[in-house]
Chain A
């Protein structure tokens, strides 16, 4: 098993598997990059409606081909059919959200289910027609790579390349529209047309990807890579590139894995690979990851408890919270029973004095900006100069005015 997988990864599994792996990687890159803009524009689910809307087009194109006496499996013609019906679905969605009071989520639901339902009806009719050569049409649902041809791979490569060139040209306006559509419009950018371009590219990727991952799962390749990439960077241009790389890696691994064992469906395996990368990022990403968030919260909690504990020590209050007691003991500020150590008493006195300094500072209207930084944890030395602190200390020293 292991050696088979290694063979697959190294493209040693024969002609078809190699073709599929390379095609899948190209598709993964194109969909990861395209999907990023969809994700940034917060319209990820539109792609789900678009992909489901391809099915009637595939079926009708097939019926026309067979009706004309041809071979129903001409991929290019089937893809043209799927693009037409996906475009129609997209148009319906835009019309519903633009001309009626329907919200986008409702429009997505309506278009997705109606088009898909119609497609399934056509698919069933084709199967009962008994046209011997219909085999493979169901492959468009979940992808089927078994009989992939060199020409199929070429279609995918050409489509992917066209999408990438379009994105290279339109990335700046698309990013501007995604971040701040009002500002983009005020600068004279045609926001509506840029959105249409973005959806058109999504449609192109979907159509190109039908053969490998199928229309039900292509949405995963559009959405999961950018979401994964977002964990690692705070810059839109880097999200785009990283998302493309992640998409390519997931698709390549998935294709290789499915080739290494009989009866492993390519599309679903690719999606699972993609999910594995997502899960890993969710866990270990340095800033936005779950682990990092937990650690950050723990550190913050520790600072709060230590500060509160020290203030309590300074005012001879009893500390009840076990966590506070434990942290004070760990830091050497108190014994296990809560009695302050020498170091603890010194730090507690400093904490209390800082609170009094803050108190004076926050009453001083001239220091409004500095006072606004008070949050209970902030060290006053980071806000004021030693001279300013000395001035405040002189005020603390003098008796209260009556």
Chain B
């Protein structure tokens, strides 16, 4: 009797966490063809913190993010954003896709890309007003790209492109930010600028989830980690979930034991 009561209270605590979580995923399976890229994954993102999704290449990190956003349709699973289905909460979620996912020769200027972040405010026929431009310029300033507003996007460096994508997400004024490999292949100045913006967002009480590949910076940048290799391997605060054992479990033979020890002990 007592046991079941304890169980019950534990369950309700978990339910409560899901209710308030910016992003709660249950039993998510996503498959390309008949090979699941993500299998039966649960995730409960902690509000107001920064979480890194980590795992080897092909572990399903980006796929999980895309399924959470409804970009790919999962085979099974439930996604809730701030306790409600995603479709009711689209305005509160901002997405920063991988830089390589678009053609940068597309005829558009930096400011136009950022204005896409204001799509909901503009609607189908609404005119772009000075107030919209001001928001867009502010967002560009925040990522250190203010002077590039009129530039054609094809003229930007990789790091600058990444910052424009971040500015577009900022323009939405969302509460939850999902970023797919924002630090991949960018220069040091860009990495510094992006992490600065993300930390500011956290200070404002926003929630940030980042698909991340650089194990060396996890401790510096993030509060929580979510390790995945098709299935969830570990989830929790960096101190407890980002250890030699969990890394070994996620990466297996792909990381040398020496590397793992070095990363795990650099606390």
Listed in ascending order, the chain A residues whose CB lies under 8 Å from chain B are 40, 42, 168-170, 172-173, 176, 178-180, 182-183, 185-188, 230, 233-236, 238-239, 368-369, 372
Chain B hits for A187, CB < 8 A: 90, 95, 119-120
CB distance from B208 to the nearest CB of A (A): 16
Chain A hits for B107, CB < 8 A: 40, 230, 233-236, 238-239
Q: Contacts A235-B112, A369-B187, A372-B187 hold; do A188 and B87 have CB atoms under 8 A apart?
A: yes
Is B142 on the interface with A (CB-CB < 8 A)? no
Is B109 on the interface with A (CB-CB < 8 A)? yes
- For the complex, give the distance between the alpha carbons of A283 and B168 in Å: 35
B interface residues, tally (CB under 8 Å): 30
A183:B95 contact, CB within 8 angstroms: yes
- 8 Å CB contact of A188 from B90, B116, B187: B90
A169:B70 contact, CB within 8 angstroms: no
Max count, chain B CB within 10 A of own CB: residue among A42, A234, A235: A234
Is B74 on the interface with A (CB-CB < 8 A)? no
CB distance from A365 to the nearest CB of B (A): 10
- For the complex, give the distance between the alpha carbons of A183 and B106 in Å: 15
- For the complex, give the distance between the alpha carbons of A40 and B97 in Å: 19
- For the complex, give the distance between the alpha carbons of A52 and B116 in Å: 36
Given contacts A179-B102, A188-B70, 6 further A-B contacts (CB under 8 A): A42-B103, A182-B71, A183-B168, A236-B112, A368-B188, A372-B187
Chain B hits for A369, CB < 8 A: 187-189
Counting from the closest, the 7 A-B pairs by CB-CB distance are A186-B95, A188-B90, A234-B152, A186-B69, A185-B71, A369-B189, A182-B97
Chain B, Cβ-Cβ closest to A169:
B124
Chain B hits for A186, CB < 8 A: 69-71, 93, 95, 97
- For the complex, give the distance between the alpha carbons of A299 and B103 in Å: 28
- For the complex, give the distance between the alpha carbons of A234 and B156 in Å: 14
Chain B hits for A368, CB < 8 A: 188-189
- B window 172-207: CB within 8 A of A: 187-189
A234:B119 contact, CB within 8 angstroms: no
- B window 67-114: CB within 8 A of A: 69-71, 87, 90, 93, 95, 97, 101-103, 106-109, 112-113
Chain B, Cβ-Cβ closest to A185:
B71
Chain A, Cβ-Cβ closest to B168:
A183
CB distance from A84 to the nearest CB of B (A): 29
- 8 Å CB contact of A178 from B71, B101, B106, B189: B106
- 8 Å CB contact of B66 from A172, A182, A234: A182
B122:A235 contact, CB within 8 angstroms: no
Chain A hits for B116, CB < 8 A: 176, 179-180, 183
A236:B106 contact, CB within 8 angstroms: yes
CB distance from B99 to the nearest CB of A (A): 11
Is B125 on the interface with A (CB-CB < 8 A)? yes
Chain B, Cβ-Cβ closest to A101:
B33
Chain B hits for A183, CB < 8 A: 95, 97, 116, 168
- For the complex, give the distance between the alpha carbons of A369 and B193 in Å: 12
Max count, chain A CB within 10 A of own CB: residue among B106, B109, B152, B189: B106
CB distance from A75 to the nearest CB of B (A): 33
CB distance from B115 to the nearest CB of A (A): 10
